[in-house]
Chains A and B, each alone.
Chain A
Amino acid sequence: MKGPGKYWRIALGVVVIAGLIVVPLNFNRYGLFILSQWAVMTIAAMGLNLTLGYAGQVSLAQGAFVGIGAYAAAIMTTQGMPLAAALGVAVVLCFAVGWLLGYPALRVQHHYLAFVTLAFSTLAFLVFRNEDWLTKGIYGISNIPRPTIFGFATNRPLPFYYVCLGSLGIVSVAMWWLIRSPWGRAFLALRENPVRALSLGIDTRRYTLMAFAIGSALGGVAGTLYAPLTQYIDPVPFNLSLSLDLLMMVIVGGAGFFFGPFLGAMIAVLLPEWLRFTEGYYLMLYATAVIGLLIYSPSGILGILDRVLAERRSKAASARRAVAKSGLEAAP
């Protein structure tokens, strides 16, 4: 039963990855920008999915971490330092700040945590806007260079798209490994039943902080790619609505599902392009669709899929049971 399903899945994965590499070869500049943006937002949403979906801690600050990463990259690369150094700084900085932001999560849950992280998000935005000496304030930082990797300049859109895609690949593999490691199990235990997790000897304190820190660090990774992608940053994209958008991406795709962020980011980044004909009504339609989706399935699109698959599996199982039962009854 399980064998062919597994092969199908691997084949599907290979096709999707090949498609992501081959299809954009003849995309124009704008199409490549949108796809790169999808890759970057997926990385940020994966971080949030770890915090929210796996460890069950609400965060409305992921956009702020993307901002921190983007500013680290912009400030350092415009000073002539390599992007890799900026990536290191962004990851360490976001990890540390995320760790600190996790402390309130040890004391309060749910909505309180949402408000603390919301407050942090707004504070970060104020810093981006007001600390002119560091961030150039509302004028923003322009002429952010794109990196040269192993001697290849990635100035043109296509090579830089591959940088984003490659980073997404690395992050995905790392995440895949992480959620299957004992740490991933511990995060799940934290979400499902923190008291029981504690009684089983899991250091819930440390894992809560860790979930925040790793999730935030991934936000920083996304930010370091965002700055060279747009080549110009100002504080506006990193206000609270980015955090809300990222949260929506995770929820719409399916929180706690590995591929949830991929799907959610695709909908949030690509759908506006397809729905361009609706003009200003797009966000209204999106908001209405999200509410409808949440009413129907609070676990997102992959939640619907999961439910359908589970139903089919149980139907198949009961059919097998019926066959087995009739076989048993026929035997004597």
Chain B
Amino acid sequence: MSNLLDLLVAGLATGAIYAIVAVGFTLLWQTSQTINFAQGEFVMLPAFLMLAAMHAGAPFWLAILIGILLSLLLLGLGFKMLLVDPMLRHGVLPLAIATMALAIGIKEAVKQFFSAEASPFPSVVPAGDIAIFGRMVSLQSLGVLALAILAVVGLTALLNRTSIGHQMQATAQNPTVARIIGVPVERMILLTFLINAFLVALASLLITPIYLAKFSSGEVLGQAAFIAAIVGGFNQVRGAIAGGLLIGVVDNLAAAYVSTQYRAAVPLILLIVIILFRPQGILGRAEERTV
């Protein structure tokens, strides 16, 4: 039990990152029925964009800015215009499968154009430990946690307290009625794609220093985010946040108390149990279902 606090803090920190990714995932689902199987690769890519900018000689802060702008352009605007818009009329499943192909494409592109090896990535939060209640806790974990909480609070405020947020929610709940009452639905959908692109870039910035930048790291991240989204509740932003935190903590506790070999199995089993017994998620509302 000695390192339970460490585990909890580390779990909450990675969980907060999962939550950011999962929120983006649910936003896309809500506003445009897009199940983005490439979400994990979306998190992996911005770190490489930032690394590329740094290789070109940009200082770290500028590289971050370039990385975020490029991911808004590629993963937000480009993803929507080139893949989602033409695919959406075909239905949910073909679009989901197209994003699986996209995931393969992004992974291979990074492997070819950057490197197949893992690269170190500078941390935005200084390394070291800090004493809390007489115990040493990793500063990095706390910093990540603080930044992630800031992002989540900011997003929730945007969604619930501003006019744009209300318009986005209206778009998500009923696009037809939203259009009738004068919400620019198309612009709101584009905005959710841009928000998702920003969230994945932020997640990339926070998680890559912990796990290194590697072309294949998106698989694990993507799965964690899907599981978080489903466990928390697919149709709710706060569900995704709760799910993300839960998965992060469960993952870290499993690494310590279950065998390392089956660590990865624990969130999956949690997922199966939730889907079987409470498919709308812990915080979700039941959706209409066929049969």
Contacts and interface: CB of A to CB of B under 8 A. Distances in A.
Interface of A: 58, 103-104, 107-112, 114-116, 118-120, 122-123, 126, 129-130, 194-195, 198, 204, 240, 244, 247-248, 251, 280-281, 283-284, 286-288, 290-291, 294-295, 298
Contacts of A115: 226-227, 230, 271, 275
Main secondary structure of the interface of A (DSSP, over half): helix
Contact of A294 (B90, B105, B112): B90
A112 B271 CA distance: 10
A240 B92 contact: no
- In the A-B complex, the 4 residue pairs with the smallest Cβ-Cβ separation, listed nearest first, are A287-B105, A298-B94, A298-B90, A119-B268
Interface stretch (B175-183, B190-198, B238-246, B257-265): B257-265
12 contacts: A103-B276, A112-B230, A195-B291, A248-B100, A280-B112, A283-B105, A284-B105, A284-B112, A287-B105, A287-B108, A288-B101, A290-B98
Interface residues of B, number: 41
Interface string B252-291: 0000000001101100110110011001000000000111
A291 B290 CA distance: 28
Nearest to B291: A194
B40 to A, nearest CB: 11
Contact of B101 (A107, A280, A290): A290
A29 to B, nearest CB: 28
Given A119-B269, A247-B100, A251-B94, 6 more contacts: A112-B230, A112-B234, A118-B223, A119-B268, A130-B262, A288-B101
Nearest to B289: A109
A301 to B, nearest CB: 14
Interface string B65-108: 00000000000000000010011001111101110111011001
B219 interface: yes
Given A109-B290, A122-B223, A198-B291, A280 B111 contact: yes
Interface of B: 35, 83, 86-87, 90-94, 96-98, 100-102, 104-105, 108-109, 111-112, 219, 223, 226-227, 230, 234, 261-262, 264-265, 268-269, 271-272, 275-276, 279, 289-291
A291 B93 contact: no
A281 B261 CA distance: 33
A116 B274 CA distance: 10
Contacts of B87: 294-295, 298
Contacts of B101: 248, 287-288, 290-291, 294
